[in-house]
């Protein structure tokens, strides 16, 4: 369609433009039907026998943040106040 007619149909909401994406999937060089889990730990037995040379290992993620440190405590006076409040609430 010419640009002018297409704009007119869009304005009247009679035309809807859709973008289609397609992908081609092919078997790669490392394709396998069996799922092999990579090793995550190196044990002393692997080192002694030398079997670690043939095993695939999971790569390390050095950019991960890890667990946030546990920090922060209640002030002792606030802790006492909350305990007293709980006692009075239980008493009615």
Query: Is residue 17 very low, low, confident or very high in pLDDT (cuts 50, 70, 90)?
Result: confident
Which tokens sit at 81?
Answer: 């106040």
Nearest 5°: phi and psi at 57? Answer: -110, 145
Look at 48 and 66; give whichever has higher pLDDT.
48
Q: What is the pLDDT of residues 37-59, one digit of tens each?
A: 899 899 999 999 999 999 989 99
| This prediction's pTM | 0.37
Task: Give dist(CA 82, CA 90) in Å, integer.
Answer: 12
Tell me what the mean pLDDT of segment 56-77 comes to.
88
What is the percent of the chain where pLDDT is above 90?
58
pLDDT of amino acid 43: 92
pLDDT over 90 at 68, yes or no: no
End-to-end Cα separation, the chain, in angstroms: 80
């Amino acid at each position: 369609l010419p640009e002018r007619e297409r704009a007119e149909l869009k304005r009247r909401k009679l035309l809807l433009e859709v973008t289609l994406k397609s992908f081609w999937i092919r078997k790669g060089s490392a394709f396998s039907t069996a799922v092999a889990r990579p090793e995550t730990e190196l044990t002393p037995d692997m080192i002694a026998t030398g079997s670690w040379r043939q095993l695939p290992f999971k790569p390390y993620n050095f950019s991960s943040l890890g667990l946030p440190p546990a920090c922060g405590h209640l002030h002792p006076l606030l802790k006492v106040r909350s305990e007293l409040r709980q006692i009075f609430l239980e008493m009615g």
